[in-house]
Amino acid sequence: MKTALQIDIAKVFDQPISPRTDMLKPRISMSNADYQHYENQHGQACLQQFDGMLGYINILDLHLPADIVIPIQVTRSDLHIFYLFTEDRAIQIRDVQKRISYSISCNRGRYFYLTRSDYEIHVPAGSYTLVNFYFRGSIFRDGNERPFQFLHPLIHAYRKQDPNSWCSIDFRAGTRTISLMKTIASKIKKGDLDSEVNILWGIKKLIQLSKEKIFEEYDKISESQIKSKEAHAAIKQAVAELGQDFKLDDIAWQLGISMDYLHQLIQLYYGQSPQELKVEFMLDLAKKYIVDGMPTDAIAYELGYASPSSFARFFKKKTGMTATEFFKRYNQDYL
């Protein structure tokens, strides 16, 4: 992916130096990333960058005795996630031309749609880890953005190439987020085709985790909401373990509710029937297996179909494509 956000760290710290054993260590290490270390009177900085076709990752660690301002340039309008891990301070991202500032508080994250412009990161004295993912807004297509209402204004701005930047509501980022980032970092490697799939997987996981964090923090969780989440998770787990070879009545029995109430819960909180949700999970698994190169007969077995032809009819009916056509389209769109 062409670099769309350039962090001009050398403007503050001059040229990178060879790291010493006593220097600042990255909180989240990307062993296969481009790595640069800086030190001067302003403090220490460590910048890691990984360039993938589907997304770009920046991880910036800072130890500062005084406030600094880091210039950044955005050369193409894109969607971004920023996370800040620190003790008790916030940073500001400022659009120099429009004179608009956005804050990112300690141990929190926020999504942005950033337009082409010059920006500044205003960082107070202290120790920080700032993580930035940016990615193609085109990963949202065919209505797959529906569950992520907090991103709808940003996606809309991206699609119409709005000249104004946008940001989402902010949300907590803690040990689960850091653990997921470390997993993503461990899965990427230059020259490895799987890295592209893993970056996309990581971005999807971060978006899903963000949704959970926003739901937990801002939405009052009622008993029915809790039960709906349990039902959603139970159907997803059943599909992962049994494919299509289970009855939704068994899920209702497992949860101690009636089939009618299961239908009400899923319809109310997810906008679809339990059967539609089951089919959605099956399609998601089927697509993952196809992208991973699994043979059709193996996919049919994993999803509980009696024969490859039965699975082929199901997939064609739901997607309008054969498995081979889907694989080719995926390669054209994402690789």
Indicate whether 115 and 157 sit together in one domain: yes
Work out how many domains the chain is built from and give that number: 2
**Final residue of a structural domain among 218, 242, 265:** 218
- Residue given tokens 């130890």 in the structure block: 63
Maximum alpha-carbon separation in the chain: 69
Indicate whether 69 and 144 sit together in one domain: yes
Helix (H, G, I), strand (E, B) or coil at 301: helix
- pLDDT at position 315 over 70: yes
- pLDDT at position 323 over 80: yes
Average pLDDT over all residues of the chain? 90
Indicate whether 155 and 282 sit together in one domain: no
pLDDT digits (tens, 9 = 90+) for 277-300: 999 999 999 999 998 888 999 999
**Final residue of a structural domain among 201, 218, 235:** 218
Mean pLDDT value of segment 48-65 = 88
CATH code for the domain in which residue 296 is found? 1.10.10.60
Question: Please, which pLDDT band fits residue 333 given cuts at 50, 70 and 90?
Answer: low
Indicate whether 186 and 233 sit together in one domain: no
185 Cβ contact list (under 8 Å, min separation 6): 28, 29, 30, 31, 33, 57, 59
Indicate whether 56 and 130 sit together in one domain: yes
Residue-range definition of the domain harbouring residue 277: 223-334
User: How far, rounded to the nearest angstrom, does the alpha carbon of residue 91 sit from its chain's CA centroid?
Assistant: 22
**Final residue of a structural domain among 198, 218, 238:** 218
Indicate whether 68 and 160 sit together in one domain: yes
Indicate whether 237 and 320 sit together in one domain: yes
Whole-number pLDDT of residue 163? 92
Whole-number pLDDT of residue 142? 83
Indicate whether 44 and 74 sit together in one domain: yes
Indicate whether 168 and 35 sit together in one domain: yes
pLDDT digits (tens, 9 = 90+) for 218-262: 875 677 888 899 999 999 999 999 999 999 999 999 998 899 999
Whole-number pLDDT of residue 49? 92
Whole-number pLDDT of residue 170? 94
Q: What is the CA radius of gyration of the chain?
A: 22
Whole-number pLDDT of residue 334? 53
Helix (H, G, I), strand (E, B) or coil at 85: strand
pLDDT digits (tens, 9 = 90+) for 172-214: 999 999 999 999 998 887 767 677 788 888 899 999 999 999 9
Whole-number pLDDT of residue 220? 58
Q: Per the structure block, which two tokens stand in for 38?
A: 């800086």
Mean pLDDT value of segment 153-176 = 93
Indicate whether 305 and 229 sit together in one domain: yes
Indicate whether 169 and 27 sit together in one domain: yes
Whole-number pLDDT of residue 84? 97
CA–CA separation, 236 vs 243, rounded Å? Answer: 9
CB 75 within 8 A of CB 3: yes
Q: How does DSSP assign 166-229, residue by residue?
A: EE---EE--HHHHHHHHHHHHH--TT-THHHHHHHHHHHHHHHHHHHHHHHHHS---HHHHHHH
Whole-number pLDDT of residue 2? 59
Whole-number pLDDT of residue 87? 83
CATH code for the domain in which residue 148 is found? 2.60.120.10
CA–CA separation, 88 vs 221, rounded Å? Answer: 28
Indicate whether 163 and 307 sit together in one domain: no
